[in-house]
Structure 1
Amino acid sequence: MPTATPQGAYPEDVPASGVVDEVGYRGPTACAAAGITYRQLDYWARTALVEPSIRPAHGAGTQRLYSFRDILVLKIVKRLLDTGVGLQNIRVAVAHLRGRGVADLAGMTLMSDGASVYECTSYDQVVDLVQGGQGVFGIAVGAVWREVEASLGTLQGERTDTGETLYRHHPGDELARRRRERAG
């Protein structure tokens, strides 16, 4: 994937909560957070576009388990497809995203002219692409990160070590907390 020359970092902070490596998400949760169908998720896993990094499916009856980063990439793939980027270029972009550190992802903007996908890590790089006529649309990965984080905050995850189901911020929890405060 073409990369513009670094000319400074985005002032945008890395999302505060970070990534919880001990939590995985089953297929339906990954679909809900990424805004894709289960059919898309299954197809992308079977064709190795985006495979679950925590637990792949091994035959009938096993369930894939996706990491936060996997779901972030799923949502980015969906956005690239929705804007008409070809699957071959999306595969190149996904391979590039896999090779980057988590902190790098939060400060990255992906720009595309509909054919190629470019990584920009500064405002100057974005402006240079747009002025050069190359950039047609951009995806601020940090903003997608926060969207996925917000979605997963209302969905259940699973501890990767024990398999225990986790409800990260179930809406009912807030109601129960307020009732306890009034009663206490």
Structure 2
Amino acid sequence: MSSTGDFAGEARAARPLTPHGVPREAASADESGEVGYRGPTACAAAGITYRQLDYWARTQLVEPSIRPAHGSGTQRLYSFRDILVLKIVKRLLDTGVGLQNIRVAVAHLRGRGVEDLAGMTLMSDGASVYECTSYDQVVDLVQGGQGVFGIAVGAVWREVEASLGHLQGERPDTGEVIYRAHPADELARRRRERAG
């Protein structure tokens, strides 16, 4: 299956993303054992409303990869990667990118490895969304008049990570409430547990 991230070299130009991405299952396989975040936490970290989150899950734009809702009373659990995608979707919508192109971008992001995301820039000219993995590709799009809006996925990653550092998550298997704390915070928590 083709994806625009497969560049043969530095000189190769960025191409529009196509709907022929890697299946969603491939993207979530590396997320087992991850911390899950409930809907309100995902909304806070992504900067969206709960209504948007619910609608995007029901329309399968961005579904929770850790635990989907199964009837009344069950809680969806979103992974870090899901929240990253939610925040990117919001930014694309805010700039007027069409839903069809956003679906293509989401499928593409889901199909990429976690390591690939940090170095990726998504560019859009309003008609298509492009993946750029090098500075030269970004410059080529801008100089060619194609790229008018860009999202540095690594920067969005850091924003989501900072937001989640102050919000609670849970372990999907045990339901244990945890925080994505900085190492110093984690050390302080362990000391409190030993003392108490």
Task: Please classify the TM superposition score into its range, dividing by the shorter chain length.
Answer: 0.7 to 0.9
Counterpart of 1:74 in structure 2: which amino acid? Answer: L
8 Å Cα contact 1:21-1:67 kept in structure 2 = no
> Shift in Å at residue 47 of structure 1?
0.1
> Shift in Å at residue 69 of structure 1?
0.3
Deviations 1:75-132, CA, capped at 9 Å, x for gaps: 0000000000000000000011111000001110000011210000000000000010
Which of 31, 34, 41 lines up with 1:29 in the alignment?
Answer: 41
Q: Secondary structure at the match of 1:139?
A: strand
Q: 1:71 to 1:55 in 2, by over 3 A?
A: same
2:145 aligned with 1:130: no
Which of 121, 136, 158 lines up with 2:170 in the alignment?
Answer: 158
CA distance in structure 2 between the partners assigned to 1:22 and 1:83 by the alignment: 31
Q: Secondary structure at the match of 1:54?
A: coil
2:128 aligned with 1:116: yes
Q: Secondary structure at the match of 1:25?
A: coil
8 Å Cα contact 2:3-2:108 kept in structure 1 = no
The structure with the greater share of residues assigned to strand is: 1
Task: Give every structure 1 segment of 4 or more consecutive aligned residues whose post-TM-superposition deviation is greater than 2 Å.
Answer: 1-6, 19-22, 167-170
Counterpart of 2:10 in structure 1: which amino acid? Answer: Q
> Shift in Å at residue 168 of structure 1?
2.8
The count of residues paired between Structure 1 and Structure 2 equals 165
1:68-147 mapped onto 2 (5 Å cutoff): 68-147=80-159
Unmatched 5+ stretches in structure 2: 12-30
Give the TM-score normalised by structure 1: 0.83
Give the TM-score normalised by structure 2: 0.78
2:4 aligned with 1:3: yes
2:69 aligned with 1:57: yes
Identity %: 89
Name the Cα RMSD after superposition. Answer: 2.3
Deviations 1:24-76, CA, capped at 9 Å, x for gaps: 00000000000000000000000000000000000000010000000000000
Which of 47, 52, 56 lines up with 1:40 in the alignment?
Answer: 52
